Amino acid sequence: MKPALVHVIGARPNFVKMAPVVTALERTEAFEQRIVHTGQHYDARMSDDILADLDFPPADHFLGVGSGNHGEQTAKVLAGFEEILLDCRPDAVMVAGDVNSTLACALAATKLGIPVAHLEAGLRSGDWSMPEEVNRVLTDRISDVLLTHSPEALDNLCREGIDPERVHYVGNTMIDSLRRCEQRARARALHRSLGLRDHDYALVTFHRPSNVDDPLRLARISAEIRDLATRHAVVFPIHPRTRARLVETGSMAGLEAAGVLCIEPVGYLDFLSLQAFAGAILTDSGGVQEEAAVLGRPTLVLRAATERPEVLQTGVVRLVGTDVAEVERTARSWLNSPPTAYVGTVTGPLRGSSHACHDGITALYMKSITPL
């Protein structure tokens, strides 16, 4: 009988990271793979559409936990996933990234004595005000196998006393998905259907509590985006959580009045298309930082720290922290500059980690998980 391996997905970043791994392991026919979707991202545009774009197989279980406070959401996933584990008793569980579902499912499995593998282990921002930092550190601590995307991740884990024998470098599977889907995404050229020219618009996306839950900071970011929109086109696919805060604080009406193209969240291929042709990107997303850097698109990160320092080495990604005024000023400068200055400049560790071979991932998973 094949060993049973449960993959946990719950939010957009998980889908993108896990898709190449599921495909690679499927080719080996060495495991009975089962997929549990926690439903942390449940909006069709942020879940069903993205999974379809990635050709992800249907989930075997859907927990439907929905949104909620961190404690509430984590508790729902923990309880729901434990029931599944007690029913099917898999040989191992694989979690990815750093969302609430990641920690909750790793904890449920660990308490039942089921080995856990953590994909994208070892990321560290040093910012404990970020819920994701708490999730990733605790998940690494209780996981049996740590699968890293960069050499820096191994250094982080070793500094925390993790046995290097538990760590395996598998490369950046998120970039595997990007490279597989890039041509299809570019062919869509979604920006042209919005009446925009190549490299002549800013793409905005933010959703982190530090940016949307502080009314003053949310108002300041919104003001800079409105100012930018008076000079350049701005496309803003709005996360449901962000939209709710913008409406509550009255900032939504101001953005729309300023001409910002406030659209609903889009699928994976459509968002990748918007990134590929943007003149500038404003984001607080970790995954978007990586994708934009690989695509060579100039990006401002609305955070004080990043768990992906390799993107800063590309020269196209810059942290702006709390200096919101730099957002409008720098984005306007980039949009007024020839975009060819940024295309093809990605070098260094990000490029190296983006070439993780699916067969290599498969071999490492088999080596790492089978003996557990």
Residues classed as catalytic: 207
Q: Is the dihedral of CA 138, 141, 145, 149 positive or negative?
A: positive
Please compute, for residue 329, the number of CA atoms within 13 A of its CA located in the half-sphere on the CB side: 5
Q: How far apart are CA 314 and CA 174, in angstroms?
A: 17
Query: How many Å apart are CA 14 and CA 284, to the nearest integer?
Result: 17
Cα torsion 141, 368, 365, 161: sign: positive
At residue 282, φ and ψ (nearest 5 deg) are: -120, 120
